[in-house]
Amino acid sequence: MSKILVTGPTGNVGQHVVSALVTQGRDVRALVRDPRTASLPGGVEVVCGDLSSPGTLTAALHGADSVYLMWPGLPVEPRVVGIIAEHAERVVYLSADVPDLADGEQPTTFHQEIERLIRRSSLNWTFVRAIDFATNTLRWAEQIKQGVVRLPYGQASRSLIHERDIADVVAHVLTSDGHDGARYVITGPESIPQAELVRIIGEVIGRDVRWEDLPLDRAREELTAAWGDAGFVDARLRAWAALVDSPERVTDTVPRLLGRPAMTFRAWAQEHADDFR
């Protein structure tokens, strides 16, 4: 049986990728910075390594045929993809809903840059492009505990996806044929306004929670202070503004690949209710 190396195995998605593969009886190796603090299922081989230090990857990749690659917001290190290609045959990269780059076109996101590196390598590859994670609404937790979420564009409609759906798609692609060169855009089952997402969370936890649209100038100031990147903040605000009139798209990729419906945002909120209480 082929060995699968999982990067980010303790993260929101990675932990579920590991669990899904273990449930299938796969030979899993987990790449972690500190094996002493990693809590992983029994039978998982734990190895020390760091994507920001490519030299640590060689030993971790020894004997691995396939790699699940996620990129934790670090500066892009091209040598990582090169080292993976030297040892493995296949990579599944957790990307975002980004357009393909034409030859000579400059990337605008690190996902595009990494996708280009992978496409130019000798690897067989699949890109799982998650449109946005339901777990990102955990950023609202403190405001929800106060009863009001103050942000702009409450009517921006999102098709957020449950992290277990992402993981199940990744595990399916890693363990079945016919996915080489595929770019799978995965979403939740419906596009829901952000104000309604807040209302659903409130309903699940048994309290009234409302959305209050924050003036743009104040929102830009507060988000820049929180995220530290004014350019990223402006990009997010433009994206949310666009989703008011053009809701985020919904794809059929999850049910098509997994043979079951994508999980709803309400189901996600029920599983994470304690995080908002």
Classify residue 43 as exposed, middle or buried by CB count within 10 Å of its CB (0-12, 13-18, 19+): exposed
Could you tell me the pTM of the whole model?
0.93
Co-location of 114 and 18 in the same domain: yes
Which DSSP letter does residue 161 get? Answer: B
157-158/192-193 β-pairing? antiparallel
176: in domain: no
123: in domain: yes
**Residue 205 has what pLDDT?**
96
CATH of the domain at 143: 3.90.25
172: in domain: no
Please tell me the distance from the alpha carbon of residue 109 to that of residue 114, in angstroms, as a whole number.
Answer: 9
Co-location of 123 and 193 in the same domain: no
65: in domain: yes
pLDDT at 264 over 80: yes
Query: Hey, how many other C-beta atoms are within 10 angstroms of the C-beta on 231?
Result: 8
Co-location of 82 and 215 in the same domain: no
181: in domain: no
Please say whether the beta carbons of 41 and 14 come within 8 A.
no
Co-location of 219 and 241 in the same domain: yes
CATH of the domain at 91: 3.40.50.720
pLDDT in tens, 17-55: 999 999 999 999 999 988 888 889 888 999 999 998 998
CA distances from 124 to 65, 181, 196 (A): 11, 7, 41
pLDDT at 1 over 70: no
Co-location of 46 and 138 in the same domain: no
**Residue 36 has what pLDDT?**
82
pLDDT in tens, 205-260: 999 999 999 999 999 999 899 888 888 888 889 999 999 999 999 999 999 999 99
Please tell me the distance from the alpha carbon of residue 79 to that of residue 87, in angstroms, as a whole number.
Answer: 13
Co-location of 84 and 62 in the same domain: yes
- Token look-up 């016919």 returns 178
**Residue 86 has what pLDDT?**
95
Co-location of 149 and 221 in the same domain: yes
**Residue 72 has what pLDDT?**
84
Which domain-ending residue is among 83, 113, 130? 130
164: in domain: no
pLDDT in tens, 71-108: 987 788 899 999 999 999 999 999 999 888 777 788 78
**Residue 102 has what pLDDT?**
76
**Residue 103 has what pLDDT?**
75
Question: How many structural domains does the chain have?
Answer: 2
Higher pLDDT, 109 or 141: 141
Co-location of 70 and 121 in the same domain: yes
203: in domain: yes
pLDDT at 2 over 90: no
**Domain limits at 199?**
134-159+189-249+263-276
Nearest C-alpha neighbor of 180 from the set 235, 224, 118: 118
Co-location of 226 and 101 in the same domain: no
Co-location of 153 and 68 in the same domain: no
In a 13 Å sphere around the CA of 4, the CA atoms on its Cβ side amount to 29
Co-location of 15 and 36 in the same domain: yes
Average pLDDT, the chain: 93
Co-location of 16 and 140 in the same domain: no
174: in domain: no
**Residue 30 has what pLDDT?**
96
SS (H, E, C) 59-123: HHHCCEEEEEECCCCCCCCHHHHHHHHHHCCEEEEEEECCCCCCCCCCCCCHHHHHHHHHHCCCC
